Structure 1
Amino acid sequence: MTLQIMVPDLPESVSDATIGTWHKKTGERIKAGELLVDLETDKVILEVPAPQDGIIGDIFFDSGSVVQARQLLAELQEVPASGEETTEKPAPAPDTGDASDILTPSVRRILAEEEVDPSVLQGSGRDGRLTRQDVLAHLQRQTNDPSATTALIATVDSATETPVSGREEKRVPMTRLRKRIAERLLEAKNTTAMLTTFNEVNMQPIMQIRSKYQEQFEKRHGIKLGFMSFYVKAVSEALKRYPEINASIDENDILYHNYFDISIAVSTDRGLVTPVLRNCDELSLAEIEKGIKLLADKARDGKLSVEDLTGGTFTITNGGVFGSLMSTPIINPPQSAILGMHKIQDRPMAVDGQVVILPMMYLALSYDHRIIDGRESVGFLVHVKSLLEDPTRLLLDI
């Protein structure tokens, strides 16, 4: 019996998908629930599993092909139940070579950028699959391997004897996610009256709290106390006082949201994504930390669903983790504002007429001036600053 494996229903507003990696080839056996192929959309990566045990028959599209919902992807030959006899023998599985041929999109990207041959690597993932950590470990070994240095010197010597004309270039296709990011950022720039206002915050009180209670917090809740939970909590409270910041434009109307679903910008191998942490005003610091970690792990593993990425009312982005001292973040449509956090830097500050070294951080609020005026934007940012500089106010709700 032959089963047809179809392209699943695609998320709302997604018209097609690009075939990423086939994890099985024609003639190979596959178990029920085992991953067959990845489909890449401009929002998420969809995994298509085998509906039951069987042998892969015909595959109708190659990697890189664009497919629509409900199109036929492949056929699956049913495997007879144990004890049953059949006159037909399944075609022998072809030699699939090294298990490192099974590559996820993030692994393929690193291999292409670093020009690494996957056949020389040994995969440590499931069924011998090559993981991102395998590639990074290989690159690290090359960096520390004296023989690699010798080979490089030999290459340079050879190049000296035989000059190479011109300069090298390489062309890597944009992922669908990267294309979508480009479209949305350009849309935000061209369709909003975007301004940015700045302030700075003394992070010493929060740093003292983390230093004092970190061990107890981690022991009690099973997760470390980071900065992001304070940022999210402060933003949630400030949004209550300045509802325009939490609103959005819907044609000729202003849509005010009486809930606080905050998008958290997460950098991944495929690009920047903004999964949503919902009902932040109702969450404790520990729940916020756990929620952010869950979303970040799903983002880096390519496991985010469309629901994880839609419905946010405000965005927080933290360029400080990469060393950014100041930036002007771009609004995430259809939202009306985004808050940028930055690197915590020791700076001399005047306190009560004395120069004191304090850990300071710049805040940047980009907002749509069509519905948010300077009074609301500056007031919101000042309130966030006051809550971060006196975190006890978050507990007392004042």
Structure 2
Amino acid sequence: MPFSLLKYGLSSEYPVDVDLPAPKELKSSYDVVIIGGGGHGLATAYYLAKYHGITNVAVLEKAYLGGGNTARNTAVIRSNYLTSEGVKFYAESVHLFKELSNEFDFNIMYSERGQLTLAHTDATVRAFRQRAEVNKHFGGRTEMIDRQQIRELVPTLNLDPGHLPVLAGLWHIDGATARHDAVAWGYAKQAAKRGVEIHQLTEVQDFVMENGRVAAVKTNRGTVKCGCAVQAIAGHSSLLLNKLGIRAPIHSFPLQAMVTQPFKPFLDPLVSSSALHCYVQQTGRGEVVFGGGSDPYPLYNTRSTLDLKESLLAHAIEMFPFLANAKLMRQWAGTTDMTPDYSPIMGRSPVDNYYLDAGWGTWGFKSTPICGKTMAELVASGGRTPELIKPFALDRFSTFQQVNEMGATAASH
């Protein structure tokens, strides 16, 4: 429990702190400019200020805080990935998530519920066995379970959907959810308390280059000089990289989700099926959330489509037939920046003082704490890449050292 809830609960008065200072003018220069005011950018600013004492930092957000993919995801937290590099990275993020509410003194509504991924074929069962062993080796709590255990865990699940009966499941005990906007605001509030400036409605439009370095960033509110810059802009990563002439194998695709009217609690774990391209979870408010794979074509527009709604809900109803009578309340989309190996791009760029936090696809929210922590270490050290993110360097695509996480998502792409 965050200490602020206990303090307020035992107090006869309820003082309310202002989360962020009033907007102010941009300064002429900063030690660090962070482009993107979502979870990753704000986390990087927070860790820079708290653990490295670097507070002359500006976070520049073209719209409002956490209004991009941070506000558009389904808030799943997990570490049951395929590769040793991925499991170690995301397992550390899960560990950090568990302590964020107390660290912020701000409730992020973290809820450990477990994630169940369904296996419908013998090949998937074999793959899940290997995946469980990799996870356990690096400290994750993941195990194989059979049909009877699945039935006991999720009594409302249809174990024989159409031509794809459920054979077994991968049970990831560490699977969790958190309130995505609370995570962003928690980082923002604590960073601002330490002197970081957060500027909303401030769009980076171009760069001023000197001797192969970024000397300043041009915004719609003026030009500011910087010692270095960090890019953390989710689905629009490639657009900004193009302005610097940096080539990266990133393609952006819409990713849609939807939610029903609230029901009494019937589903605690997160349930997913890559064969059905669907995952289902119930929120703390009782709503049922559906998500699946990305749209099959590149696009930056975050609009919803009838085609996706029909196909996704058809598969969701195969898993939970009684949901056919549920009323759909909202449908939305984000923009995923996908890489060929389904792993992020983190670290240094070909521009000496420009650092990359990109290529997050569908796994950006769950990596928020560890991404902020490692990017802050990278910046504070002057460009020395932390061991945990070395495998995610941009140059892995030219040296053929990809970190292949294809199929590790809740719904395959």
TM-score range normalised by the length of the shorter chain = under 0.3
Higher helix share: 1
RCO higher in structure (CA 8 A, sep ≥6): 2
- Which entry has the higher C-alpha Rg, 1 or 2? 1
TM-score (norm 1): 0.21
